[in-house]
Amino acid sequence: MTKKLQLLEITKRFGSFTAVNDVSLEIGEGEFVSLLGPSGCGKTTTLRLIAGFEKPDAGEILLDGAPISSSSFVLPPERRAMGMVFQTYAVWPHMTVYDNVAYGLRLRKVPQTEIKERVAKIFQTVGLVGQEAKYPSQLSGGQQQRVALARALVYEPEVLLLDEPLSNLDAKLREAMRFEMRRILERTGITVVYVTHNQEEALVLSDRVAVMKDGKIVEESHPETLYAAPKTKFVADFIGLANFMEGTAEAVEDGFLIVRCPWGKVKCVNSQLNRVGDRVTVLIRPEVISLLPASENDSGRDVNCFAGVIKEASFTGSIVEYFVGVGSDENGTTMRVQSPAPRMFSASDRVCVSFEAKSARVVV
Amino acid sequence: MEAPLPEAALSRKRFSLYEQVMSNPAQLLWLMTILLVAGMIIIPTAYLAYEAMFSGESISLAPAINALTTSRARESIVNTVIYVVGVTLISLCVGVPLAFLVERTDISPLAKAAVRLTVLVSVITPPFLLTMAYVTLLGPNAGFINVALRKLLGLRGFRGPFNVYSLPGVLLLGSPRSIAMTYLMAAAAFERLPPELEEVAAITGASRARVLRTVTLPLIRNAIFGAALVSVSTALAAYGSPHMLGYSILTLRIREAMVRGNFPEAASISVVLTLVSLVVLLLYRRSISKGSFATVTGRGYRPGLFTTGRAKYILGFAAILYGLLAAVLPIGTLLLVSFFRTMGYGFTAGNWTVANYLYVFRDRFAINAFRNSILLSMGAATISVLLTIVIGYITVRQRTRTSSMIDYISVIPLGISGTALAVALIMTFTNQPFRNLQLYGTLTILLVCYVIRFYPVALRPVQTSMMQISSDLEEAGRSAGATWGGVTRTITFPLVKSGLTAGWILVYLQSLTELSASIILRHIGTDTISTAIMDVWDGGGGYQAACAMAILSMLMVAVIMGIGVVVLGKSFMKVVGSGGC
């Protein structure tokens, strides 16, 4: 894949606050990359740096290998051949839907007849046929979102920048649009940088996800890898649900690590290549844990198997959520467990918490 | 045969209006307020119309038509049109670009602060004081700048090169307040405009000029139109500055007719002026009710899409120049002249004295004028706030058709010129039955006039603060265990306090320097600061004493402003800014 967009050690400060701190990222031609992180992590600023709305204090941004932003030079946004969709959609309220979408084509001096054809085509793609003559105020949020997307796509930019485009929609519509957007964007084959704080959105849409925190990229990988094998506690916690157990490495055997925790021993993948004696944090996802009645724990297993008490059990549809207390009162923890329905246990039942060694791993 | 009425029917007997009203005292207050608010406008206007149309025995339009078709009246009408159009154009051409520079570009913060401060100064400084300053600077013969320029350039003769008594002089000196109000409205519109709307146009490929033309300006078009209407309305009602420069517009013609004792003529012109003003006001209300497209977004920072590059310093200088010309130069001049021994010696060593201030402090006429203005302003401010509490409560809490009507009526005074209102009040209080109150020539008629003119100014901050207290807030207090009194003391009052204070100060500020109505209503012993300054300026004490009085009145304004800022914090500045509109 050829490199479309390169961020090289980009830093951006606002006064004394460093919004983006030494960020490097490469995005390939046609790739869909998400910047994921909590609010204030610098993801939107990174996007605005790529768009050319902000000037980096250090570093360089290259488009097709040519510099477009540095601390001394910023190519103005209008000359970057990019398209952008804002969180607020920023659909111009004084223009009809048609005029909104045709704006970029008119700027490019496309002949009138061709504008008509291309707008009609993009309206078909995004599902806005019949809304052309309306004003944005007559449209719903979801429709405005489509206008914003159509407007950004119609002139076929080389890079599409999306800043939380779905966050102002209600939950149901957000999910529907998520899949629809993937369908539309797959068809165009455009390079996309997508900013979101919604992990599901990032996982569903992206080829690659870069998780940001405090202005830095913490981890960057394919969605599956990021979920199944995160390197950091932050990413493990931010993407999906996580249980963490802290303890001391006691033995290394065969790519696995035995960790002693206050309430028992944990065997997990030695993903960080730790040695005996290291303090480590072990990640166990709630859905890999199985619960057994306490009476069945007589086999004498002492690894990856803890006695616990159900504190709370809630039925949420396809799964049942349990909060299980393990260990003693003064030296214990609460683990979150997700099991397929139906509900097998209720509060104050004694259970055994167990999981396979290969589905637990060390994070830093 | 009649059947005896069952008891239930007896208890369902009809209540008379009297009983209905008395059963609910709040309703009585409500009724009285409607009558008062409507009466304050309708009664004087009715007397005005009567005076204009009643000639001897019959009612006709003839006297009005006669009064308006004399060659002098025609001249005034033409002058007014020129004045209104000129001032409005200047205001738009200066105010809107200034607002753009401050709100949308990256010129230096110093220049932005200078513009904001100057705007505030322009809103609270009476235009006639600025004109006074410029007459001493640009008077054709003795204006200090003219004298200096003649010396510098070796010009012959005793006149020019500048002449403040000219059409450009009249229009430019008529503009500072309109510029400030245009600026405030445009700046508010720019502020409300989400920057994304411009940014998305830029990334779509539009140049800065194109973004401005296709996105920014169309989106604030309504606000600009509204600002233009406010300028028109302000210019129609202008009095002080044109009076000093001898430019006869309709308000001057009215005053002159009053001085000549030609009441029907004064009333006729007042009626016409009022009708035109009301049409402008109506258009303005419609333009703002149509609303702006823009919505407020919660973005914390404001990215400057419009970077000015190399022009940064030139534009910054232009912004600061505005501050110099509209505030520093005129006010500085008033201050310096107020310490002059003799006008003719100008800015020379030995020409300095505090005698002018001592004169003001010893002069019974001046002292009396200051006393009158302070009493009137405090009275008008207090009455206005009390009135607006009731109106605010009715319009905010009881959303009925009557309340929206009250809302509407209570903005009308903003559109009526002080001159016309003063004439109308004189007609009212010199005819039966109000004649019996014997208010003509008293301070009370001035007080009535100030209240009618300025209570709408207090209404907006009071209403805004009342809107903050949704009944949930009070109910939450009650459910937390507070008594009604406790809720009023700890929740309701703290929330409306700032609005009431802001309203009081706004009315006080406006009343303190009111000129156009006072100059018609004043009588022996009831001069106000403004009318006294005019008299002293016109010969009763000289330029220096007038400047000393001007500086003293501006000091009083500054002190009140300072109190407002201390009590209410920075938000007060915003209220003052919007209160002028």
CA atoms within 13 A on the CB side of B235: 32
Q: Are A277 and A248 a contacting pair, CB within 8 Å? A: yes
Query: What contacts B263, CB < 8 A, 6 or more positions away?
Result: B51, B257, B427
Closest by Cα among A38, A3, A46 to A22: A46
pLDDT(A59) > 90: yes
| Predicted local distance difference test score (pLDDT) of residue A177 | 81
| Predicted local distance difference test score (pLDDT) of residue A297 | 55
Closest by Cα among B175, B163, B184, B185 to B83: B175
Three-state SS letters, B328-397 = HHHHHHHHHHCCECCHHHCCCCCCECCHHHHHHHHCHHHHHHHHHHHHHHHHHHHHHHHHHHHHHHHHHH
> Residue A248: beta bridge partners?
A260, A279
Spatial separation of the C-alpha atoms in residues A322 and A337, rounded to whole Å: 5
Rounded to whole angstroms, what are the CA distances from B216 to A278, B97, B312?
Answer: 60, 12, 20
| Predicted local distance difference test score (pLDDT) of residue B17 | 63
Which residue spans of chain A are classified as CATH 3.40.50.300?
3-230
A88/B contact by beta carbon, under 8 A: yes
Q: Which helix (H) or strand (E) is A23 found in, with range?
A: strand A17-28
Q: Which residues of A touch B205 (CB under 8 A)?
A: 78-79, 81, 104, 107-108, 155
Spatial separation of the C-alpha atoms in residues B256 and B259, rounded to whole Å: 5
Q: Which residues of B touch A79 (CB under 8 A)?
A: 205
Q: Where are the domains of chain B?
A: 72-247+273-293+314-337, 353-419+428-581
Q: What is the pLDDT of residues A141-163, one digit of tens each?
A: 889 988 999 999 899 899 999 99
Q: Is the dihedral of CA B91, B241, B550, B554 positive or negative?
A: negative
Q: Are A326 and A335 a contacting pair, CB within 8 Å? A: yes
Q: What is the pLDDT of residues A67-111, one digit of tens each?
A: 999 998 989 888 888 999 998 888 998 899 999 999 999 999 999
A75/B contact by beta carbon, under 8 A: no
For A168, counting Cβ atoms within 10 Å of its Cβ (0-12 exposed, 13-18 middle, 19+ buried), the class is middle
Q: ∠ CA B545-B546-B549 to the nearest 5 degrees?
A: 85
Tokens of B542: 């000289």
Given 1.10.10.60, 3.40.50.10420, 2.160.10.10, 2.40.50.100, which CATH number is that of A241-363?
2.40.50.100
Q: Which residues of B touch A92 (CB under 8 A)?
A: 197, 201, 215, 219
Which ranges in B488-568 belong to alpha helices (H)? Answer: 493-512, 518-521, 529-535, 542-568
pLDDT(A323) > 90: yes
The fraction of chain B above a pLDDT of 70, given in percent, is: 88
CA distance B219 to chain A (A): 7
Sheet hosting strand A32-36, strand order edge to edge: A82-85, A159-163, A191-196, A32-36, A208-213, A216-221
CA distance B294 to chain A (A): 8
Least confident of A50-54, A287-291, B477-481: B477-481
Provide ipTM, 2 decimals: 0.79
Task: Look up tokens 């029907």; give the residue.
Answer: B264
What's the alpha-carbon Rg for chain A, to the nearest Å?
25
Q: Is the dihedral of CA B431, B434, B437, B440 positive or negative?
A: negative
DSSP state of B581: -
Tokens of B69: 């078709």
DSSP of A125-153, one letter per residue? HHT-TT-TT--GGGS-HHHHHHHHHHHHH
Confidence band, pLDDT 50/70/90 cuts, at residue B4? low
Q: How many CB atoms lie within 10 A of CB B149?
A: 16
Q: Which residues of A touch B297 (CB under 8 A)?
A: 88
Pick among B203, B217, B305, B307 to test the A interface (most A CBs inside 10 A):
B203
Q: What is the pLDDT of residues B187-203, one digit of tens each?
A: 888 888 888 888 899 99
| Predicted local distance difference test score (pLDDT) of residue A6 | 94
> Residue A14: beta bridge partners?
A17
Residue A261 dihedral angles phi and psi, to the nearest 5°? -110, 165
Spatial separation of the C-alpha atoms in residues B291 and B285, rounded to whole Å: 10
Question: Top-level CATH class of B72-247+273-293+314-337?
Answer: mainly alpha
- Mean per-residue pLDDT, B293-315: 62
Confidence band, pLDDT 50/70/90 cuts, at residue B435? confident
| Predicted local distance difference test score (pLDDT) of residue A142 | 86
3-state secondary structure of A299: coil
| Predicted local distance difference test score (pLDDT) of residue B302 | 54
Which ranges in B154-262 belong to alpha helices (H)? Answer: 167-173, 176-192, 195-204, 208-211, 217-237, 240-245, 250-260
Which residue spans of chain A are classified as CATH 2.40.50.100?
241-363
- Mean per-residue pLDDT, B494-505: 85
DSSP strand pairing (A159-163 vs A82-85): parallel
Least confident of A69-73, A324-328, B330-334, B536-540: B536-540
Q: What is the pLDDT of residues B201-232, one digit of tens each?
A: 999 988 888 998 999 899 888 889 989 998 99
Closest by Cα among B515, B429, B555 to B251: B515
Q: Which of B203, B210, B215 sits opposite A92 (nearest CB)?
A: B215
Q: Are A351 and A309 a contacting pair, CB within 8 Å? A: yes
Spatial separation of the C-alpha atoms in residues A240 and A283, rounded to whole Å: 11
Number of H helices, E strands in chain A: 8, 20
Q: Which helix (H) or strand (E) is A4 found in, with range?
A: strand A3-14
- Mean per-residue pLDDT, B47-61: 77
Spatial separation of the C-alpha atoms in residues A251 and A259, rounded to whole Å: 7
pLDDT(B399) > 80: no
Superfamily of domain A3-230 in the CATH hierarchy: P-loop containing nucleotide triphosphate hydrolases (3.40.50.300)
Q: Which residues of A touch B223 (CB under 8 A)?
A: none
- Topology at the third CATH level for domain B353-419+428-581: MetI-like fold (1.10.3720)
Spatial separation of the C-alpha atoms in residues A121 and A107, rounded to whole Å: 18
Say whether A86 and B199 touch across the interface (CB within 8 A): yes
Say whether A94 and B205 touch across the interface (CB within 8 A): no
User: In this structure, what is the dihedral angle of CA atoms B15, B17, B20, B25, given to the nearest 10 degrees?
Assistant: -160
Task: Look up tokens 């993407």; give the residue.
Answer: A239
